[in-house]
Amino acid sequence: MFETIVWATDGSELADGALEIVKDLAAIHDSKVVAVHVSELLPGRYGGAPIHADEPGLRDQIAGQVDELLAAGVDASFEVCMGSRDVATQIAQAAEDSDADLIVVGTHGRGVVTGALWGSVAKGLCHTSHRPVLVVPPARSAGRASGAAERLTTV
């Protein structure tokens, strides 16, 4: 059912929680996993520099997670997207380019008001992507992922 799954990650604990669902789905469907990380760039005069000072560390962390997937027998790859477009649009484009059947992303699960003020990559993906998006809330990310992928698949 899911030949290719894009795991959208920013290196956060929430993204790591979503990875647990991705692992389960990949095992059930023998899926390829594409880890997609967007390196946000500073606009304007200082354009081209990453927004996050710890960007090299984030990339190393995600590359290590992809290596773990490979060691576990999962066909996995890592893609870093860079550009001036918003994060959700870049992830959606990466999913199109990899012909993904599903995008999995963690979310903070903020309420309507906070989400409207701060924005949300997950919300943006739901509005931008032409691919199905599975949004994993913090309750699932906090270690209760066990069996969730199987339940999603059999529904």
Q: What is the pLDDT of residues 18-44, one digit of tens each?
A: 999 999 999 999 999 999 999 866 555
Kindly state the average pLDDT of the residues 83-101: 93
Give the pLDDT score at 117: 37
Kindly state the average pLDDT of the residues 136-151: 62
Give the pLDDT score at 56: 77
pLDDT at 60 over 90: yes
pLDDT at 114 over 60: no
3-state helix, strand, coil in the chain (%, to 5): 50, 20, 30
Give the pLDDT score at 115: 43
Nearest to 23 by CA among 66, 56, 79: 66
Query: Domain of 29: which CATH number?
Result: 3.40.50.620
Higher pLDDT, 53 or 106: 106
pLDDT band at 143 (very low <50, low <70, confident <90, very high): very low
In one letter, which amino acid is 71? A
Domain extent at residue 16: 4-154
Mean pLDDT, the chain, rounded, equals 82
Higher pLDDT, 9 or 42: 9
Give the pLDDT score at 44: 56
Indicate the angle between helix axes 55-71 and 13-29, nearest 10 degrees.
20
Give the pLDDT score at 84: 75
pLDDT at 12 over 60: yes
Number of domains, the chain:
1
Give the pLDDT score at 138: 83
**How far, in Å, are 11, 37, 60, 81 from residue 5 at the CA level?**
17, 14, 21, 16
Percent of the chain with pLDDT over 70: 71
